[in-house]
Amino acid sequence: MIEVGLNIVPNVQVAKEVPAPTKPTEIKIVLPTNAYFMSGIRDFTLSMIRNMTDFSEQWAYRFQSVVDELCNNAIEHGSSNDDTIEIRFVNYKDDAIEIIVSDHGTGPNQLTADQVRARLAQNAALDITQLGIRGRGLTKIVKEWTDELDITDNKFGGITVRVKKYLHDERFAQVGPGTDPTHIVLDV
């Protein structure tokens, strides 16, 4: 004879196994401060956003512009001709993309993080028609197309700019052109 015992405990819930958070994928690129390499970084950015994230094609092109602007600023203002800049892409799967660009502060037009933030605030208060040819990129491209923008002085004497864009942004849920000033709607 076999005895089977069953012990029932009322109102006990079994905890479900929660998957561990996925470690973000980080790609680090160090480039000589030469505009020649920018086309390769633009191509890499577009390919990386398309293949490693769930951002739309439109956002892939926007990130391409953001990276281009950040790198060009680091080359022009923060680095001498014989120096390097560092670009880091951090993909938080199903959550966000983070882009970090650092220079070494060896450029002839180097500013501190406080000076860049002050200039950004000043330019943000202006209408785009008042900005002229220069000074629009950080204000009208980088700041407008990212959810987080941090500008800090780094240990090398230069500046690090970190931007982050979350995948689950309420603007992605819009149907139609919305109020985005970068969209042109032709009614024919």
Beta-carbon contacts of residue 38 (< 8 Å; ≥ 6 apart):
68, 71, 72, 75
Q: 175 falls in which pLDDT band (50, 70, 90)?
A: very low
Does residue 104 fall inside a structural domain? yes
Domain membership of residue 83 as a residue range: 25-168
Summarize pLDDT for 134-149 with one digit per residue, the tens. Answer: 555 566 678 888 899 9
Of 148, 136, 116, 157, the residue nearest 69 (C-alpha): 136
Instruction: Count up the domains in the chain and report the number.
Output: 1
Does residue 14 fall inside a structural domain? no
Does residue 180 fall inside a structural domain? no
Helices and strands (DSSP H and E) totals, the chain:
4, 5
Does residue 80 fall inside a structural domain? yes
Does residue 1 fall inside a structural domain? no
Task: Give pTM, 2 decimals.
Answer: 0.75
Higher-confidence residue of 126 and 55: namely 55
CATH of the domain at 30: 3.30.565.10
Does residue 13 fall inside a structural domain? no
Does residue 3 fall inside a structural domain? no
Does residue 89 fall inside a structural domain? yes
